[in-house]
Amino acid sequence: MVSDFILLGFPCRWEIQIFLFSIFFMTYILTLLGNMAIVCAVRWDHRLHTPMYILLANFSFLEICYVNSDVPNMLANFLSRTKAISFTRCLLQLYFFFSLGTTECLFLSIMAYDRFLAICRPLHYPTIMTTKFCNGLVIFCWVYGFLWFLIPVILITQLPFCGPNVIDDFLCDLGPLLTLASACVPIPGTVLICGTMSSLLIFATFFYIIGSYTLVLRAVIQVPSAAGRKKAFSTCSSHLAVVFLFYGSVMMTYVSPGSGQAEGMQKFTTLFYSVLTPFFNPMIYSLRNKEMKDALKKVLGGSPN
């Protein structure tokens, strides 16, 4: 039985490994700083103590946790000669990586619901989206996110990894692990369950978000003033940009895990949503939001205009 796995990462010459390490290390640090700035801005600016920004702060904190579930090990792997990870650490990384990804899907859905209420039901918004209800939604996202992927991980711990232990990726991902296990014994049931749960989560949350924003768009078009339409679009466009960045790459990877993709494609799509999307999120949310820009200026020591 396999006691550890070999994460190939990005096989190339040592000089290129050091170069990639430098690039991803800077991306990692900037991701942490950008998302921490949003968390601090919402925490310290009382004008941002509203459900929309409370959800955004929790989402930024989630992104910090998300990149910490895979990037530190990826960085260490660049400098490692063996590139080995123990079986237990591999499964723990798989669980936290997918649980945080599930939580991200739920948060994006809740943020879409918040925008739907604010634009389509403005008179009812203060009575529905109270601070207590918003905090309840936040707790639901975190708890349910870490419960959803328990069954697939438990099933994977029962699989026989009997020989091949090389994973052509930079983290312990679902597809490569199912491929390694299927080289020992047929596992159609496990593949079906993992694929079904991944697809159900991804498509249910994605279509809910698209449905919510279809109603939002219809309501925005009916706003009489151009300034009102512009403000409504600005608050929604940032969220939609993050949704399409995240879901576009996730769907390519997890709708059918274990089915195999073009060589290198899964590694690229995983890199995109697990490293690059959290990096872009602070810029997307801050550049198009005047209140957030003013709060960030205060946090960074400047004075808002």
More confident residue, 299 or 159: 159
State pTM to two decimals. Answer: 0.88
Closest CA to 282 of 250, 245, 231, 249: 245
Query: Exposure string (b/e) for 203-222, b if CB count within 10 Å is 16 or more?
Result: eebbebbeebbeebeeebee
Type of residue numbered 35: N
pLDDT score at 183: 83
Number of domains in the chain: 1
Mean pLDDT computed over every residue of the chain: 85
Average pLDDT over residues 274-295: 77
Contact 115, 51 (CB under 8 A): no
- Residue 285 located in a structural domain: yes
- Residue 124 located in a structural domain: yes
d(CA 81, CA 283): 35
- pLDDT confidence of 50, banded at 50, 70, 90? confident
Contact 152, 194 (CB under 8 A): yes
pLDDT score at 287: 62
Identify the sign of the CA torsion 48, 52, 58, 63. Answer: negative
pLDDT score at 305: 47
Q: Look up tokens 């000089």; give the residue.
A: 15
- Note down the domain range covering 256: 4-300
- Residue 142 located in a structural domain: yes
In tens, the pLDDT along 52-80 reads: 889 989 999 999 999 999 999 999 999 88
What residues contact residue 170 under an 8 Å CB cut-off, 6+ apart? 7, 8, 9, 10, 70, 74, 77, 267, 270, 271
- pLDDT confidence of 133, banded at 50, 70, 90? very high
- Residue 277 located in a structural domain: yes
pLDDT score at 258: 47
- Residue 174 located in a structural domain: yes
Q: Is the pLDDT of residue 256 over 70?
A: no
- Residue 305 located in a structural domain: no
- pLDDT confidence of 255, banded at 50, 70, 90? low
Strand, coil or helix: 213: helix
- Residue 26 located in a structural domain: yes
More confident residue, 88 or 261: 88
How many CB atoms are located within 10 Å of the residue 270 CB?
24
More confident residue, 205 or 221: 205
Instruction: Identify any residues that bridge with 86 across adjacent strands, giving them in sequence order.
Output: 4
Contact 246, 277 (CB under 8 A): yes
- Residue 208 located in a structural domain: yes
CATH number of the domain within which 24 lies: 1.20.1070.10
Q: Is the pLDDT of residue 257 over 70?
A: no
C-alpha distances in Å from residue 83, one per residue of 75, 165, 213, 259:
11, 12, 44, 25
